[in-house]
Amino acid sequence: MKKIIVCLCLLGVPFLSAVAQTEANYDESKVPAFILPPLLVNEEGKRVTSAQEWERDCRPEILSLLADQEYGVMPAGEFETRYEVMATNAKALGGKATSKQVKITFKKGYLERPVVILMYLPNQVKGKAPVFMGYNFGGNQTIHPDPEIVPTSERERGAAQSRWPLDKILAAGYGVITVDCNQVFPDNPEGLPKSVMRLFGIQEEADLQPNTGQAMSAWAWGLSRMLDYLQTDPQVDATKVIAIGHSRLGKAALWAGAQDTRFAAVVSNESGCGGAALSKRAFGETIDIITTKFPYWFCKNFKAYGNNEETLPFDQHELLALIAPRPLYVASAEEDRWADPRGEFLSAKYASEVYRLYGYKGITTEEMPQVNTPVGQRVTYHIRTGKHDITTYDWEQYLRFAVANLK
Protein backbone atom coordinates (compact mmCIF):
# COMPACT_ATOMS: atom_id res chain seq x y z
CA MET A 1 0.00 0.00 0.00
CA LYS A 2 1.01 3.56 -0.59
CA LYS A 3 2.22 5.51 2.37
CA ILE A 4 -0.34 8.21 2.99
CA ILE A 5 1.34 11.57 3.23
CA VAL A 6 -1.13 14.24 2.26
CA CYS A 7 -3.20 15.55 5.10
CA LEU A 8 -6.01 17.93 4.41
CA CYS A 9 -8.94 19.74 5.71
CA LEU A 10 -8.41 19.23 9.42
CA LEU A 11 -11.44 21.15 10.49
CA GLY A 12 -11.62 19.79 13.95
CA VAL A 13 -14.29 17.14 13.33
CA PRO A 14 -12.22 14.08 12.62
CA PHE A 15 -13.38 10.72 11.32
CA LEU A 16 -17.01 11.54 10.78
CA SER A 17 -16.99 9.46 7.64
CA ALA A 18 -17.69 6.35 9.70
CA VAL A 19 -21.11 7.84 10.44
CA ALA A 20 -23.90 6.79 8.08
CA GLN A 21 -24.10 9.25 5.20
CA THR A 22 -27.28 8.37 3.41
CA GLU A 23 -28.31 11.99 3.93
CA ALA A 24 -26.12 14.39 2.02
CA ASN A 25 -23.97 16.64 4.17
CA TYR A 26 -23.85 20.32 3.19
CA ASP A 27 -22.01 21.59 6.23
CA GLU A 28 -18.32 22.24 5.56
CA SER A 29 -17.56 21.92 9.29
CA LYS A 30 -18.79 18.31 9.15
CA VAL A 31 -16.47 17.27 6.35
CA PRO A 32 -14.37 14.51 7.89
CA ALA A 33 -10.64 14.86 8.31
CA PHE A 34 -9.26 12.78 5.52
CA ILE A 35 -6.00 11.81 3.94
CA LEU A 36 -5.53 11.46 0.21
CA PRO A 37 -3.31 8.88 -1.43
CA PRO A 38 -0.27 10.81 -2.69
CA LEU A 39 0.04 11.14 -6.45
CA LEU A 40 3.78 10.84 -6.73
CA VAL A 41 4.31 7.69 -4.66
CA ASN A 42 3.58 4.27 -6.08
CA GLU A 43 2.14 1.25 -4.29
CA GLU A 44 5.58 0.04 -3.22
CA GLY A 45 6.21 3.39 -1.60
CA LYS A 46 8.63 4.60 -4.27
CA ARG A 47 8.56 8.37 -4.82
CA VAL A 48 8.73 9.47 -8.44
CA THR A 49 10.38 12.68 -9.55
CA SER A 50 9.94 12.82 -13.31
CA ALA A 51 7.15 12.48 -15.85
CA GLN A 52 8.80 9.33 -17.23
CA GLU A 53 8.90 7.72 -13.80
CA TRP A 54 5.32 8.72 -13.13
CA GLU A 55 4.17 7.14 -16.38
CA ARG A 56 6.11 3.98 -15.64
CA ASP A 57 5.56 3.54 -11.90
CA CYS A 58 2.32 5.35 -10.97
CA ARG A 59 0.00 5.83 -13.93
CA PRO A 60 -0.61 2.13 -14.71
CA GLU A 61 -1.27 1.36 -11.04
CA ILE A 62 -3.85 4.12 -10.71
CA LEU A 63 -5.54 3.16 -13.94
CA SER A 64 -5.98 -0.46 -12.92
CA LEU A 65 -7.08 0.47 -9.39
CA LEU A 66 -9.82 2.77 -10.71
CA ALA A 67 -10.91 0.18 -13.27
CA ASP A 68 -11.01 -2.58 -10.69
CA GLN A 69 -12.59 -0.73 -7.78
CA GLU A 70 -14.70 2.06 -9.26
CA TYR A 71 -15.61 2.23 -12.95
CA GLY A 72 -15.19 -1.43 -13.82
CA VAL A 73 -13.37 -3.20 -16.59
CA MET A 74 -14.73 -3.71 -20.09
CA PRO A 75 -14.48 -7.43 -20.87
CA ALA A 76 -12.21 -8.42 -23.76
CA GLY A 77 -13.92 -9.51 -26.94
CA GLU A 78 -13.91 -9.29 -30.70
CA PHE A 79 -16.70 -7.67 -32.69
CA GLU A 80 -17.14 -6.08 -36.10
CA THR A 81 -17.60 -2.38 -36.70
CA ARG A 82 -19.31 -0.85 -39.72
CA TYR A 83 -19.56 2.86 -40.60
CA GLU A 84 -22.33 4.22 -42.77
CA VAL A 85 -22.81 7.89 -43.65
CA MET A 86 -26.58 8.40 -43.36
CA ALA A 87 -26.81 12.09 -44.27
CA THR A 88 -24.61 15.08 -44.99
CA ASN A 89 -25.39 18.72 -45.63
CA ALA A 90 -22.59 21.09 -46.59
CA LYS A 91 -24.83 24.09 -45.91
CA ALA A 92 -26.33 23.25 -42.56
CA LEU A 93 -27.35 25.92 -40.03
CA GLY A 94 -27.62 28.68 -42.62
CA GLY A 95 -24.35 27.68 -44.30
CA LYS A 96 -22.21 27.91 -41.16
CA ALA A 97 -21.68 24.18 -40.84
CA THR A 98 -21.37 20.89 -42.59
CA SER A 99 -23.57 18.39 -40.84
CA LYS A 100 -23.05 14.69 -41.00
CA GLN A 101 -24.83 11.75 -39.42
CA VAL A 102 -22.90 8.53 -39.33
CA LYS A 103 -24.25 5.23 -38.14
CA ILE A 104 -21.75 2.98 -36.39
CA THR A 105 -22.93 -0.60 -36.10
CA PHE A 106 -21.19 -2.91 -33.67
CA LYS A 107 -21.86 -6.49 -34.62
CA LYS A 108 -21.19 -9.78 -32.89
CA GLY A 109 -22.81 -12.81 -34.49
CA TYR A 110 -26.49 -12.00 -35.01
CA LEU A 111 -26.36 -9.19 -32.47
CA GLU A 112 -26.14 -5.57 -33.71
CA ARG A 113 -25.87 -2.38 -31.72
CA PRO A 114 -26.26 0.75 -33.87
CA VAL A 115 -25.18 4.17 -32.65
CA VAL A 116 -25.72 7.40 -34.61
CA ILE A 117 -23.05 10.09 -34.47
CA LEU A 118 -24.27 13.62 -35.16
CA MET A 119 -21.59 16.04 -36.36
CA TYR A 120 -21.50 19.77 -37.08
CA LEU A 121 -18.22 20.98 -38.54
CA PRO A 122 -17.35 24.67 -39.03
CA ASN A 123 -17.33 25.68 -42.71
CA GLN A 124 -14.98 28.58 -41.99
CA VAL A 125 -12.23 26.05 -41.19
CA LYS A 126 -10.55 24.88 -44.35
CA GLY A 127 -9.32 21.35 -43.88
CA LYS A 128 -9.61 19.33 -40.70
CA ALA A 129 -11.44 20.91 -37.77
CA PRO A 130 -10.79 20.45 -34.05
CA VAL A 131 -13.91 19.21 -32.26
CA PHE A 132 -15.64 18.84 -28.93
CA MET A 133 -17.13 15.40 -28.54
CA GLY A 134 -19.62 14.45 -25.87
CA TYR A 135 -22.81 12.55 -25.24
CA ASN A 136 -26.24 14.09 -25.10
CA PHE A 137 -28.71 12.87 -22.48
CA GLY A 138 -31.92 12.41 -24.37
CA GLY A 139 -31.59 12.27 -28.14
CA ASN A 140 -29.49 13.77 -30.93
CA GLN A 141 -32.46 15.90 -32.03
CA THR A 142 -32.54 17.62 -28.62
CA ILE A 143 -29.34 19.55 -29.25
CA HIS A 144 -30.82 21.75 -32.02
CA PRO A 145 -34.15 22.24 -33.83
CA ASP A 146 -32.46 21.45 -37.19
CA PRO A 147 -35.18 19.32 -38.92
CA GLU A 148 -32.53 17.18 -40.61
CA ILE A 149 -31.39 15.56 -37.37
CA VAL A 150 -32.51 11.94 -37.30
CA PRO A 151 -34.22 11.54 -33.92
CA THR A 152 -32.86 8.90 -31.57
CA SER A 153 -35.67 9.26 -29.01
CA GLU A 154 -39.19 10.65 -28.62
CA ARG A 155 -38.02 13.88 -27.08
CA GLU A 156 -38.73 17.24 -28.63
CA ARG A 157 -36.34 18.76 -31.15
CA GLY A 158 -34.14 21.41 -29.61
CA ALA A 159 -35.20 20.55 -26.04
CA ALA A 160 -31.57 20.77 -24.83
CA GLN A 161 -30.53 23.52 -27.22
CA SER A 162 -29.34 25.85 -24.47
CA ARG A 163 -26.69 23.25 -23.58
CA TRP A 164 -25.20 23.24 -27.09
CA PRO A 165 -24.55 26.82 -28.30
CA LEU A 166 -23.59 25.63 -31.78
CA ASP A 167 -23.27 29.12 -33.30
CA LYS A 168 -20.66 30.14 -30.73
CA ILE A 169 -18.74 26.88 -31.00
CA LEU A 170 -18.68 26.95 -34.80
CA ALA A 171 -17.73 30.63 -34.85
CA ALA A 172 -14.70 29.77 -32.71
CA GLY A 173 -13.63 27.25 -35.35
CA TYR A 174 -14.65 24.11 -33.46
CA GLY A 175 -16.96 21.31 -34.46
CA VAL A 176 -19.40 19.39 -32.29
CA ILE A 177 -19.75 15.63 -32.27
CA THR A 178 -22.46 14.03 -30.18
CA VAL A 179 -24.19 10.71 -29.55
CA ASP A 180 -27.23 9.80 -27.47
CA CYS A 181 -25.75 8.01 -24.45
CA ASN A 182 -28.78 5.73 -24.35
CA GLN A 183 -27.72 4.09 -27.59
CA VAL A 184 -24.54 2.88 -25.92
CA PHE A 185 -25.98 2.03 -22.50
CA PRO A 186 -29.58 3.03 -21.77
CA ASP A 187 -29.49 5.22 -18.71
CA ASN A 188 -31.86 3.25 -16.51
CA PRO A 189 -31.74 0.21 -14.23
CA GLU A 190 -33.01 -2.04 -17.04
CA GLY A 191 -30.39 -0.78 -19.49
CA LEU A 192 -27.81 -3.57 -19.25
CA PRO A 193 -29.41 -6.14 -21.64
CA LYS A 194 -29.96 -3.42 -24.27
CA SER A 195 -26.46 -2.01 -23.95
CA VAL A 196 -23.21 -2.62 -25.84
CA MET A 197 -22.24 -4.96 -22.98
CA ARG A 198 -24.13 -7.62 -24.93
CA LEU A 199 -21.26 -7.62 -27.43
CA PHE A 200 -19.09 -8.94 -24.63
CA GLY A 201 -21.49 -11.66 -23.53
CA ILE A 202 -22.96 -9.67 -20.62
CA GLN A 203 -26.74 -9.83 -20.73
CA GLU A 204 -27.86 -9.71 -17.14
CA GLU A 205 -26.83 -8.80 -13.65
CA ALA A 206 -25.64 -12.37 -12.93
CA ASP A 207 -23.01 -12.03 -15.66
CA LEU A 208 -21.30 -9.19 -13.81
CA GLN A 209 -18.11 -9.87 -11.90
CA PRO A 210 -17.44 -7.51 -8.97
CA ASN A 211 -15.15 -5.49 -11.25
CA THR A 212 -17.13 -5.62 -14.50
CA GLY A 213 -17.93 -2.20 -15.92
CA GLN A 214 -21.48 -1.02 -16.47
CA ALA A 215 -22.83 2.28 -17.86
CA MET A 216 -19.87 4.50 -17.01
CA SER A 217 -17.33 2.16 -18.53
CA ALA A 218 -19.54 1.45 -21.53
CA TRP A 219 -20.01 5.19 -22.13
CA ALA A 220 -16.25 5.75 -21.91
CA TRP A 221 -15.70 2.82 -24.28
CA GLY A 222 -18.26 4.37 -26.67
CA LEU A 223 -16.38 7.69 -26.73
CA SER A 224 -13.24 5.82 -27.75
CA ARG A 225 -15.11 3.96 -30.51
CA MET A 226 -16.39 7.31 -31.83
CA LEU A 227 -12.85 8.59 -31.79
CA ASP A 228 -11.88 5.52 -33.87
CA TYR A 229 -14.41 6.74 -36.43
CA LEU A 230 -13.21 10.35 -36.28
CA GLN A 231 -9.70 9.13 -37.13
CA THR A 232 -11.11 8.01 -40.49
CA ASP A 233 -13.04 11.22 -41.21
CA PRO A 234 -11.14 13.58 -43.53
CA GLN A 235 -12.92 16.66 -42.15
CA VAL A 236 -11.96 16.12 -38.51
CA ASP A 237 -8.62 16.79 -36.86
CA ALA A 238 -8.47 13.62 -34.78
CA THR A 239 -5.42 14.95 -32.92
CA LYS A 240 -7.67 17.70 -31.49
CA VAL A 241 -10.68 15.89 -30.11
CA ILE A 242 -11.78 17.29 -26.75
CA ALA A 243 -13.92 14.94 -24.67
CA ILE A 244 -16.63 16.90 -22.90
CA GLY A 245 -19.53 15.94 -20.66
CA HIS A 246 -22.01 17.39 -18.23
CA SER A 247 -22.71 15.69 -14.93
CA ARG A 248 -22.96 11.87 -15.31
CA LEU A 249 -21.69 12.31 -18.84
CA GLY A 250 -18.81 14.37 -17.44
CA LYS A 251 -17.84 11.39 -15.30
CA ALA A 252 -17.85 9.29 -18.49
CA ALA A 253 -15.76 11.88 -20.37
CA LEU A 254 -13.15 11.90 -17.59
CA TRP A 255 -12.94 8.11 -17.50
CA ALA A 256 -12.62 8.01 -21.30
CA GLY A 257 -9.89 10.65 -21.29
CA ALA A 258 -8.07 8.91 -18.45
CA GLN A 259 -7.86 5.64 -20.34
CA ASP A 260 -7.52 6.79 -23.94
CA THR A 261 -4.65 9.20 -24.43
CA ARG A 262 -5.79 9.96 -27.98
CA PHE A 263 -8.22 12.48 -26.47
CA ALA A 264 -6.39 15.78 -26.76
CA ALA A 265 -8.12 17.36 -23.75
CA VAL A 266 -11.00 16.77 -21.35
CA VAL A 267 -13.73 19.06 -20.03
CA SER A 268 -15.68 18.04 -16.94
CA ASN A 269 -18.81 20.13 -16.40
CA GLU A 270 -20.17 19.61 -12.91
CA SER A 271 -19.33 15.89 -12.91
CA GLY A 272 -19.44 15.69 -9.10
CA CYS A 273 -19.39 12.38 -7.23
CA GLY A 274 -17.57 9.67 -9.18
CA GLY A 275 -16.33 12.46 -11.48
CA ALA A 276 -14.08 15.34 -10.49
CA ALA A 277 -15.17 15.68 -6.84
CA LEU A 278 -13.12 14.11 -4.05
CA SER A 279 -15.06 11.19 -2.55
CA LYS A 280 -13.36 11.35 0.82
CA ARG A 281 -14.97 14.73 1.56
CA ALA A 282 -18.38 13.02 1.51
CA PHE A 283 -19.97 16.41 0.79
CA GLY A 284 -23.19 16.52 -1.23
CA GLU A 285 -23.69 13.27 -3.12
CA THR A 286 -21.70 10.38 -1.62
CA ILE A 287 -20.60 6.94 -2.81
CA ASP A 288 -23.39 5.35 -0.79
CA ILE A 289 -26.02 7.60 -2.35
CA ILE A 290 -24.77 7.25 -5.92
CA THR A 291 -24.29 3.48 -5.83
CA THR A 292 -27.72 3.01 -4.24
CA LYS A 293 -29.55 5.28 -6.69
CA PHE A 294 -27.55 4.33 -9.77
CA PRO A 295 -26.33 0.75 -9.16
CA TYR A 296 -25.85 0.32 -12.91
CA TRP A 297 -23.26 3.11 -13.36
CA PHE A 298 -20.14 1.73 -11.63
CA CYS A 299 -18.76 -1.72 -10.96
CA LYS A 300 -20.08 -3.54 -7.91
CA ASN A 301 -16.81 -3.19 -6.00
CA PHE A 302 -17.39 0.56 -5.67
CA LYS A 303 -20.37 0.13 -3.37
CA ALA A 304 -18.19 -1.22 -0.55
CA TYR A 305 -16.72 2.27 -0.08
CA GLY A 306 -20.12 3.80 0.69
CA ASN A 307 -20.17 5.21 4.23
CA ASN A 308 -16.64 3.89 4.36
CA GLU A 309 -14.67 6.51 2.47
CA GLU A 310 -11.65 6.30 4.76
CA THR A 311 -10.88 2.84 3.31
CA LEU A 312 -10.80 4.14 -0.28
CA PRO A 313 -7.29 3.39 -1.60
CA PHE A 314 -7.72 6.13 -4.25
CA ASP A 315 -9.60 9.35 -4.84
CA GLN A 316 -10.77 11.40 -7.78
CA HIS A 317 -7.65 13.63 -7.97
CA GLU A 318 -5.97 10.47 -9.29
CA LEU A 319 -8.55 10.16 -12.05
CA LEU A 320 -7.81 13.77 -13.05
CA ALA A 321 -4.06 13.15 -12.89
CA LEU A 322 -4.44 10.41 -15.49
CA ILE A 323 -5.38 13.13 -18.00
CA ALA A 324 -1.94 14.78 -17.58
CA PRO A 325 -0.21 16.28 -19.46
CA ARG A 326 -3.24 16.95 -21.66
CA PRO A 327 -5.30 20.08 -20.99
CA LEU A 328 -8.04 19.57 -18.40
CA TYR A 329 -10.93 21.88 -17.49
CA VAL A 330 -13.01 21.26 -14.37
CA ALA A 331 -16.10 23.40 -13.79
CA SER A 332 -18.66 23.74 -11.02
CA ALA A 333 -21.76 25.83 -10.38
CA GLU A 334 -22.37 27.75 -7.18
CA GLU A 335 -25.83 26.33 -6.53
CA ASP A 336 -24.80 22.79 -7.47
CA ARG A 337 -23.75 21.77 -3.98
CA TRP A 338 -24.79 18.17 -4.73
CA ALA A 339 -21.68 17.94 -6.95
CA ASP A 340 -19.44 19.49 -4.24
CA PRO A 341 -17.78 22.45 -6.01
CA ARG A 342 -15.02 22.65 -3.38
CA GLY A 343 -14.26 18.95 -3.81
CA GLU A 344 -14.03 19.49 -7.58
CA PHE A 345 -11.69 22.45 -7.11
CA LEU A 346 -9.40 20.62 -4.67
CA SER A 347 -9.22 17.56 -6.86
CA ALA A 348 -8.17 19.65 -9.89
CA LYS A 349 -5.69 21.54 -7.75
CA TYR A 350 -4.07 18.36 -6.39
CA ALA A 351 -3.94 16.77 -9.84
CA SER A 352 -1.93 19.81 -10.95
CA GLU A 353 1.06 18.27 -9.14
CA VAL A 354 1.41 15.74 -11.95
CA TYR A 355 1.16 18.46 -14.60
CA ARG A 356 4.11 20.15 -12.87
CA LEU A 357 6.21 17.05 -13.53
CA TYR A 358 5.67 17.69 -17.23
CA GLY A 359 6.59 21.37 -16.85
CA TYR A 360 3.01 22.62 -17.10
CA LYS A 361 1.28 25.03 -14.79
CA GLY A 362 -2.08 23.84 -13.49
CA ILE A 363 -3.94 25.44 -10.60
CA THR A 364 -1.66 27.24 -8.18
CA THR A 365 -4.14 29.25 -6.10
CA GLU A 366 -4.74 27.91 -2.63
CA GLU A 367 -8.29 29.13 -2.20
CA MET A 368 -11.43 28.59 -4.23
CA PRO A 369 -11.67 31.37 -6.81
CA GLN A 370 -14.46 33.95 -6.89
CA VAL A 371 -17.50 33.01 -8.97
CA ASN A 372 -17.17 33.45 -12.74
CA THR A 373 -13.38 33.81 -12.47
CA PRO A 374 -11.50 30.90 -14.07
CA VAL A 375 -8.11 30.04 -12.52
CA GLY A 376 -5.18 27.93 -13.70
CA GLN A 377 -3.60 27.18 -17.05
CA ARG A 378 -3.13 23.65 -18.38
CA VAL A 379 -5.57 22.67 -15.63
CA THR A 380 -8.29 25.31 -15.35
CA TYR A 381 -11.20 25.59 -12.94
CA HIS A 382 -14.21 27.83 -12.62
CA ILE A 383 -17.28 28.07 -10.46
CA ARG A 384 -20.02 29.98 -12.17
CA THR A 385 -23.11 31.48 -10.63
CA GLY A 386 -26.30 29.50 -11.05
CA LYS A 387 -27.59 25.99 -11.06
CA HIS A 388 -26.53 22.52 -12.20
CA ASP A 389 -26.43 22.88 -15.99
CA ILE A 390 -24.06 23.53 -18.88
CA THR A 391 -24.51 27.05 -20.15
CA THR A 392 -23.17 29.42 -22.77
CA TYR A 393 -20.92 30.92 -20.09
CA ASP A 394 -19.37 27.49 -19.52
CA TRP A 395 -18.84 26.93 -23.26
CA GLU A 396 -17.25 30.37 -23.68
CA GLN A 397 -14.63 29.39 -21.10
CA TYR A 398 -14.03 25.99 -22.74
CA LEU A 399 -13.56 27.59 -26.14
CA ARG A 400 -11.08 30.11 -24.81
CA PHE A 401 -9.27 27.32 -22.97
CA ALA A 402 -9.14 25.10 -26.05
CA VAL A 403 -7.78 27.89 -28.24
CA ALA A 404 -5.09 28.70 -25.66
CA ASN A 405 -4.04 25.12 -24.88
CA LEU A 406 -4.45 23.14 -28.08
CA LYS A 407 -2.00 24.91 -30.30
Positions marked catalytic:
247, 388
CA neighbor of 113 nearest in space, from 218, 195, 188, 182: 195
Q: Is 163 in the site for ligand GCU (CB under 6 A)?
A: no
Residues 245-274 that bind ligand GCU (CB under 6 A): 247-248, 272-273
Nearer to ligand GCU, 173 or 386 (CB): 386
Shortest distance, position 286 Cβ to ligand GCU, whole Å: 10
Q: Which one-letter amino acid corresponds to residue 331?
A: A
Residues 326-385 that bind ligand GCU (CB under 6 A): 338
Shortest distance, position 338 Cβ to ligand GCU, whole Å: 6
Shortest distance, position 7 Cβ to ligand GCU, whole Å: 27
Radius of gyration of the chain (CA): 20
Nearer to ligand GCU, 198 or 248 (CB): 248
Dist CA 159 CA 161 (whole Å): 6
Q: Is 285 in the site for ligand GCU (CB under 6 A)?
A: yes
Q: Which one-letter amino acid corresponds to residue 405?
A: N
Shortest distance, position 335 Cβ to ligand GCU, whole Å: 13
Task: Please check whether residue 350 is in contact with residue 317, taking contact to mean a CB–CB distance below 8 angstroms.
Answer: yes
Query: Would you tell me how many other CB atoms lie within 10 Å of the CB of residue 345?
Result: 26
How many helices and strands in the chain, by DSSP H and E?
11, 12
Nearer to ligand GCU, 272 or 374 (CB): 272
Q: Is 390 in the site for ligand GCU (CB under 6 A)?
A: no
- The H or E element spanning position 332 is strand 328-333
Query: Would you tell me how many other CB atoms lie within 10 Å of the CB of residue 23?
Result: 9
Nearer to ligand GCU, 149 or 333 (CB): 333
CA neighbor of 103 nearest in space, from 179, 193, 196: 179
Quote the DSSP letter at residue 295: T
Q: How many residues bind ligand GCU (CB under 6 A)?
A: 7
Quote the DSSP letter at residue 313: S
Site string for ligand GCU, 101-120 (x = CB under 6 A): --------------------
Shortest distance, position 406 Cβ to ligand GCU, whole Å: 26
Where do contacts with ligand GCU occur on this chain (CB under 6 A)? 247-248, 272-273, 285, 290, 338
